[in-house]
Structure formats: C-alpha cells, structure tokens
Structure 1
Amino acid sequence: MSTYREERRADQAAERTADRDDRRLELESKLVYKRQLAEDERAEKERKAEQARKDAETKRRQDQAEARRRQDEKARNRAARIARLGKVSRWVNANPVTVFVAFVMMSSVIPAVISQVGALGDTGVHVMLAALLAAMLEGGAWAITFMGKAAEDAGRPAGKYRIGTWCTAAVAAGVNYWHWAEKLPDAQWVAVVFAASSLFAIYLWDMKTHGSHGRTKEERKAERARRAHLAARKKDHKDIAKQAALLLSAMPYGSIDEEEAFAAAWRIHKGAEPGLSPEVYAAATNAKVALGAAFELGEHVRPQMVRAGMLAGLYNPLNPLSRRPAASVPALDAPASAPAAQTPAEGATAQAGIGMYGTPVYRKKASESASEKATGNAGGDAGGNTPRGRSPQELEALLPQAHKLAQELVAEGRQISAASLAKGLKIRREDGMWLRDRVIEERKLHLVAGA
C-alpha cells in the first residue's frame, strides 16, 4: 500500500514537474514571441523611418530639380527676351531711315483719316460709315502701294500701281482740302496742311523705295569709262570688233558676253591672246636676241670700251646724274689700272654674282685660277685623297644646292667661284667648276629673260 502511495506521489510530482516545464516553455514561448513582436515593430519603425528619410530626400531632390528647371526656364526666357531686344535694336540701328519714315508716315496718315471722318460726319454720314470710308481711301492707297512693292520685288512692272496710289491719295487730299476750306474759309493754309497730310506719307514712302535705286557716282563713272573703252576698241580694231559683233549675234543669247566675244575674235584674227599678235611676239623675240647680243659683246670687248660707254651715258645731258661724274671711274688713259680692276662691279651681272663685265664662265681670270688652285683640295681630306669625280646625273642633282649656295655668296657680296662651290658642297674642284659654269649660265639666262 505504501508502495502505491509512493508511486502515486511520484507520479503527481512528475506531473507537477511536467506542468511546471510546460508553463515554463509556454512562458518562454510567449517571451520569445513578445521579443519577436518587439523586434518586428522596431524593424518596421526603422524601415518606415528610412523610407520617410528616402522620401524626404527624393522630394528634396525633386524640389531642387524643379527649382533648377524653373531657374533655367527663367534664364532661357530672359536670354530669349534679350535676344529679341538685341535683334530689334540691331534692326533699328541698321534701318534708322525706315524707323523714322514709319513714324512720320503714321503722324501723317492718322490726322488725314480723322479729318476725312470729320468731313464725312459733317455731311450727316454715320460715324461708323465715315470711318470705313476714310479707311477705304487711306487704306486703299497703302494697299495699292504695297502691291506695287511686291510686284517690283518680283521683277514685274509696277508703274500702274504707283499711278493708282497717287490717284487714290489725291482723292483723299481733295476731301480733306474741301472739308477744311469750307470750315475755315479764312485759314486756307489749314486746308492745304490737311490735304498734304494725305500726300506726304505716300511721297515719303515713294522716296524711300525709289529714291536710292539710281546708280552711284562710281558706277556712272565706270559706265562712261566702259563706253569710252568700247568706242576706242571699235575705232582701233574695226575688223576684230566687227567679228566680235558677228559672234555675239550668232551665239545663243547670254552664252557669251562682249569681252568673251572680242577675245574669241582676237584669237581668230591674230592667233594669240588679246593684246598679243605675231608682230608683238616677233618684236619681243628680237629685243631678247638684241639684249643677248649686247651681253655677248660686253663679255668680249675690252674694259676700256665699256668704260667709254659708261662715261658717255654719264655725261649724257638727258641723264639726271650727268653733272655728277663718278669719282671712282679712272681716266681713259689708264686702262686696266689696279683701282679700276678692284672697283666692285655694278649692274645686273654684278648683282647676279657673275663678274664685272660678265666674263664667260669658260674663261677664268688669273686671280680666280690661283684662288682655286690654293683651295683645290677643299672637298677632299687632309691627306689630299679627294673623292672620285661625280657623274653628270649626280651633278645635276647637286644643282639646286649649288644655286642656293650661289645666292648666299651673292648676298655676302662675293663672286660665284668653283672653289666656293667645291668647299660648300664638299666635292672636287673640277666638279665645282662644272657646277659654277651651269649656275652662272642659268643666272645670266634669268637676267636676260627678266629684262
């Protein structure tokens, strides 16, 4: 029996322990649940706070963007207004005549319209009808005026429009004059003023649109010169001018002008460009040949004869320098004297660096020969071992450098010599002599061609 009770008490204790465990677990579950609810509430509050912060930031950015947009829009509108004002200002500055003409025209048209309304109103016409009739007269005149301007801009005749404008304006002026002449018989000048107000605006517009259409003084002068030129052409070149007229009439209209026709006729008759002919070419060729012969003669005659020719020109009474004989020219009885030989050369040949009297390149003076012998090894090394002779093709390739070096020598006041060329180009003396001859010959030919 005791054992049963003990087992009963043990079972009851176990039940009580299980109940306590159940209540403890239930309490722990409730606590966990409450903590989870609190955590969820806290997370929800943080989420809502973060969302509110983001919403506020987004709204702030939107507000800033909207403010910037409004500022940009305001700035664009301001810039557009300034641009429009600037455009208007530039137009006014560029067209002051139009501005003042428009102002004066309004000042003339408005009194004329009011006067016509009063004139028609005094006869018993209703004021609205009087206003419409006055607008018909003045507005009709200006409508015809603008139609004439449009026709003139399009290249159509505008004479009938100008006539219609003046006729309509004359009728309006007559109405104004009649009204004020009857109303103020003792002040006829008032009637004249109001009549003129209907005509003055038309006259001002006509002066603006047609007063500056004439040719300028320079254009009239150029036209007179052109006509004089054509008259002289027809007088001096009758056959060619006749042929040019035939070409103009034969070709399609507008395909060629007078100058092109005359140039074609000149080529037909003369076989050359306008202004040139076989005779002109022959004269130019003969002059070049004579000049070349003069250079050739000057290269072979004695220096005394050249000096005699120079003195003859110096004492020529037509020469402005004839009264100032050159002090550096020695006497005629001292040929080939030392001072004369050392005097620097003057003239085209000296400026070209080819000697005083244009000595032929194949004849070297004794002084030049000595100088070239002294510097004969300028293009070689110190031991006298000079490079091999250059071929004609290689020398031709060196010719531009030789010309450049020759220009430098002439600029320094020195003569073009084989030694200088050989030293500057680092070639043999014999090759330098060949280049010197070619350079001098080409420079002489250039002088003759330029003359």
Structure 2
Amino acid sequence: MSYREERRADAAAQAEQNRKAAEARAAQEREDRRLELETKLKAKEIAAEQKRRDAEAKAELARKEAEAKRRQELADKKVRAQEKERQAAARRARFGRVAGWLKANPATLFVAFVMVASIVPAVISQVGALSSAKVHVMLAALLAAMLEGGAWAITFMGKQAEDAGRETRKYRIATWLTAAAAAAVNFWHGLEAYAEHPWVAVVLGGSSLFAIYIWDMKTHGSHGKTREERRQEKARKKHLADRRKHHKEIAEEADRLLSALPFESITEEQAFETAWQIKRGTQPGLSAEIFAQVTGARVQLGAAFELGEHVRPELVRAGMLARLYNPLPGRLAEGIPTLGPSVPVPALQQAPEGATALAGIGVYGSEGASEKACEKASESASGNAGGNGSRGRSDEELEALLPKALKIAAELVAEGNQISGAALSKRLGIRRDDARRLRDRVIAERKLKLVEGQADAAVGA
C-alpha cells in the first residue's frame, strides 16, 4: 500500500473514530440530560411530597389545636356549670337549713319577734320618762339601756350557768328585780304622759316584764318532763317503795353493798340483784321455797301423767289442761332454769329433752310419785299381758329379765317414747305390776350409768 493510501486509511479511521467519539459524547450528553431531568423531576416530586406532608401536618396540628380548644371550652363550661350547681346547691342547703330551723323552732322565731317588739317600746318609754325629768337625752338613753340591757345581761348569764349545770336562782331573781325596776319607770311615765288613758301605763310597764316572761317560759317551761316520763318516774318510785316494803331485809343488804363499794361502781338494780343472790341464792323473784313449791306441784303432775300413761287421749287432755292452768306462764316460767316451763301439748308428742331424757324417765321422773301411781293403777288394772296367774314374778326372775328390759328401754328412748310399765309389759309379755317393778330397776340402772358418764366426763375435762 502506498503512502497516500495509508494516509487516507488513517484519515478514514480517524474520522470514523471521531464520529464514534462524537456519537458517544452525544449519547453521554443525552444520558446526562436524561439523568438531570430525572433528578429534577425526583426533586420536584420530593418537594411536592414534603409540601403535601407539611400541609397535612399543619392541618393535623390545626385540627388538634381546635380539638384541644373545644375540649378546653367544654371543660371550662362543665366547670362553670358545676360551680353554678354547687352555688345553687349551697343556696338550697342554706335555705333548707333556715327553713328547717324555722320549721323546727317556730317558738324561738316568734319569741325573738315578741322580745324585740317588747324591748324597743320599753327603751323608748324609759328615754321619754328620763327626758321629761330634765335628764339629758344621751344620759337618758344610756340609763334606759342600762336597765333593759342589764336585765338581759343577767338573763344570758343565767342561761350560761344553767348550761354549765350551776345554780341559776340568783340570776333569775336579779333578772326579775331589774325588769321590775324598768317596769316601774315605764309605768310612772305612762301615768304622767297618758293620764287620760291609765291602761297605757299598764301596757308600758308590762313591756319591760313581758319579754323576760316570754324568755323564761322559752328556756324553762319547754324543757320539763313529758307526761309519759312523769308516769314512768311515778311508777319507778312506787316500784322502789314496794320493793323496800315487801323485801326490807334484801333492800337493807343492797344499801350496805352500795355504801361499801366505790361510788357509782354499781347501780341500785345491780346491788339489789346481788343482795337477793346473797339472801336467796337465786335471781330476783325466786327463792328456795318457790323452787320447792314448783317441784312439789310438778311431782304431783308427773304422778298424774304416770297414772294415765296407758290411756293416750286422757294423757293429751291432761297436758292441755296443765298448760292452760300453768301458774307460771311466759318469761317467769322460763326464768326457772332447773325446771323450765310446763310441758306444752306438742312436747307430749316429742322425745323428752335434758339429762332425764337420757335415762328415759321423761320430764318429771319422780320415783315416789311413780310408785304411788303404780299402786293405784295396779288396783284398777284388769288381767295381765303375759297370761300369768295372780302370783307375780320373784326378784330373781325380774333380775334375769333386766338385760332384755334395758335393751327394750334403749329402743323406747330411741323411738322418742318414755320407759313405761305398759310398754315393758307389752314387749316382754309380763304382768303390768311386774313390768312396773322392772321399769323402776331399768330407770335406776340408766340413771346410774348417766351419773357415771357425767362423772367420767368431768374427770376428763
């Protein structure tokens, strides 16, 4: 290849290279413009997004501020309403207290009104009386105030003394003397000033006394004892007088107790109850003689029940009559702890209670009465339940039947029945006389076991 061809080839290659470089620069410029444009667009989008967010934040802040302001206004409004309601409630409470006081103390209201209506004319009348005697008006006013004010000063001092529990007689006497002096001045002035109408002098004189009289009635006349309190006090004094009359020895013992013990350490009732315990050994109203009488009567009643135990309708009727004619009904009968009240009709149909019930001998359980009732019942009994002849069983035969009788007695008690001769006669098939003799042995045996059990329990405790 020649030199010229080489130069042309080099120039063509250079031109091609320049063209490619120019195309590359153009492509790079286009890319740079594209990237720049994208960057600007992205920046605008970011700015727009930030502006939108700023607007939203500003709107949210404005909304929150408006909500907070609204809430604050509502809270302020609620506080104002509560304050207004509180003030209204306070006004109602004050009005209610005033109205309640006026309703509860109408006498005090009208007494105050009457006192003012009485004191003012009295003071004016005294000033006029002293002025007509050529006394200076200021001096007359002071002297009038001294009379009326002095009376009321002494009156209120007496009220304080009365509230403190001190003697008030001297205050009341001084009050009435001072009021009488003021009334005399008013009466004298009324006679001079209203000679044609002397009754006016009486009214003016009474104006100094009437207020004192009304106040005295208010403070002393309305605080006395009621009719019921006076009746109770009269009944109490009569009760104490009857007590000293009927129980002189015990009342003297109670007086000795009161004088021996520290002052007001016990009451009169406690002293009398203690003295009764010392003299009679039981609570007031009862004594050993009363217990003996009640016990004797119940023994007789138990004998009557024993006699009629084989006839159930008669037994129920006897119980009803015993309750109807019970001499110690109600709480007085309940006050006898060892005996208790008479057995009511329902109790006749129930299991007996107490220590004697454990032995199966019922409420009364008098061996002496039982034997007496057995004798009377055996005379009227006909035939025998076991088909025995007229001869009764021997003691040895009854002793042999004792274990079986104890077992039957336990069954009777478990069934809620009493251990009776009729029941033993029926279940053992023996004569009623023999059954009653066996019944007494059974009861004695059960009592012995009961006492031994109580003694063992006491020792164990």
Interval containing the TM-score (normalised by the shorter chain): 0.5 to 0.7
Deviation of the 1:153 alpha carbon: 1.6
The TM-score with structure 1 as length reference comes to 0.60
Deviation of the 1:155 alpha carbon: 1.1
2:104 is matched by which residue type in structure 1?
A: A
Rg comparison, structure with higher value = 2
1:196 is matched by which residue type in structure 2?
A: G
- Separation (CA, whole Å) in 2 of partners of 1:39 and 1:14: 36
1:277 is matched by which residue type in structure 2?
A: S
1:147 to 2:117 alignment: no
Query: Residues 395, 58 of structure 1: CA spacing in aligned structure 2 closer, same or farther, 3 A cutoff?
Result: farther
Aligned partner (choices 180, 200, 214) of residue 190 of structure 1: 200
1:285 to 2:295 alignment: yes
Three-state SS of the structure 2 residue aligned to 1:285 is helix
- Separation (CA, whole Å) in 2 of partners of 1:245 and 1:79: 60
Tell me what 2:257 maps to: 247
Task: Please list, as runs of the form range in 1=range in 2, the aligned pairs for 1:346-365 lying within 5 A after superposition.
Answer: 347-348=317-318, 352=348
Deviation of the 1:89 alpha carbon: 2.6
- Separation (CA, whole Å) in 1 of partners of 2:150 and 2:349: 86
Tell me what 1:206 maps to: 216
- Separation (CA, whole Å) in 2 of partners of 1:399 and 1:135: 96
Task: Please list, as runs of the form range in 1=range in 2, the aligned pairs for 1:308-319 lying within 5 A after superposition.
Answer: none
Three-state SS of the structure 1 residue aligned to 2:285 is coil
Deviation of the 1:210 alpha carbon: 0.8
Aligned partner (choices 86, 90, 97) of residue 96 of structure 2: 86
- Separation (CA, whole Å) in 2 of partners of 1:191 and 1:172: 13
Deviation of the 1:79 alpha carbon: 2.6
Deviation of the 1:148 alpha carbon: 1.8
1:167 to 2:137 alignment: no
Task: Please list, as runs of the form range in 1=range in 2, the aligned pairs for 1:233-272 lying within 5 A after superposition.
Answer: 233-272=243-282
Deviation of the 1:11 alpha carbon: 8.5
Cα root mean square deviation, aligned:
5.0
Greater shift in the superposed pair: 208-217 or 59-68: 208-217
- Separation (CA, whole Å) in 2 of partners of 1:261 and 1:145: 43
Query: Residues 399, 107 of structure 1: CA spacing in aligned structure 2 closer, same or farther, 3 A cutoff?
Result: farther
Deviation of the 1:268 alpha carbon: 3.0
Tell me what 1:380 maps to: none
Three-state SS of the structure 1 residue aligned to 2:177 is helix
- Separation (CA, whole Å) in 2 of partners of 1:21 and 1:134: 122
C-alpha distance after superposition, 1:175-200 (max 9, x if no partner): 43344443333333223323322221
Unaligned runs of 5+ in 1: 301-340, 370-389, 404-416, 419-428, 431-436, 442-451
Task: Please list, as runs of the form range in 1=range in 2, the aligned pairs for 1:39-54 lying within 5 A after superposition.
Answer: 39-54=49-64
Number of aligned positions between the proteins: 352
Greater shift in the superposed pair: 221-230 or 249-258: 221-230
Unaligned runs of 5+ in 2: 1-7, 321-344, 351-369, 386-405, 429-438, 444-461
C-alpha distance after superposition, 1:159-186 (max 9, x if no partner): 2222332233334334433444433333
Task: Please list, as runs of the form range in 1=range in 2, the aligned pairs for 1:25-44 lying within 5 A after superposition.
Answer: 32-44=42-54
2:172 is matched by which residue type in structure 1?
A: R
C-alpha distance after superposition, 1:228-271 (max 9, x if no partner): 44444444444333333333333333233443333333333333
Deviation of the 1:101 alpha carbon: 1.8
Deviation of the 1:5 alpha carbon: 10
Tell me what 1:125 maps to: 136
Query: Residues 184, 298 of structure 1: CA spacing in aligned structure 2 closer, same or farther, 3 A cutoff?
Result: same
1:76 to 2:86 alignment: yes
Aligned partner (choices 69, 73, 84) of residue 63 of structure 1: 73
- Separation (CA, whole Å) in 1 of partners of 2:219 and 2:83: 42
Query: Residues 225, 284 of structure 1: CA spacing in aligned structure 2 closer, same or farther, 3 A cutoff?
Result: same
1:45 is matched by which residue type in structure 2?
A: A
Query: Residues 44, 135 of structure 1: CA spacing in aligned structure 2 closer, same or farther, 3 A cutoff?
Result: farther
Query: Residues 39, 263 of structure 1: CA spacing in aligned structure 2 closer, same or farther, 3 A cutoff?
Result: closer
1:274 to 2:284 alignment: yes
Query: Residues 229, 60 of structure 1: CA spacing in aligned structure 2 closer, same or farther, 3 A cutoff?
Result: closer
2:201 is matched by which residue type in structure 1?
A: A
Query: Residues 261, 46 of structure 1: CA spacing in aligned structure 2 closer, same or farther, 3 A cutoff?
Result: closer
1:261 is matched by which residue type in structure 2?
A: A
Deviation of the 1:61 alpha carbon: 1.4
Deviation of the 1:53 alpha carbon: 1.3
Identical residues among aligned pairs (%)? 54
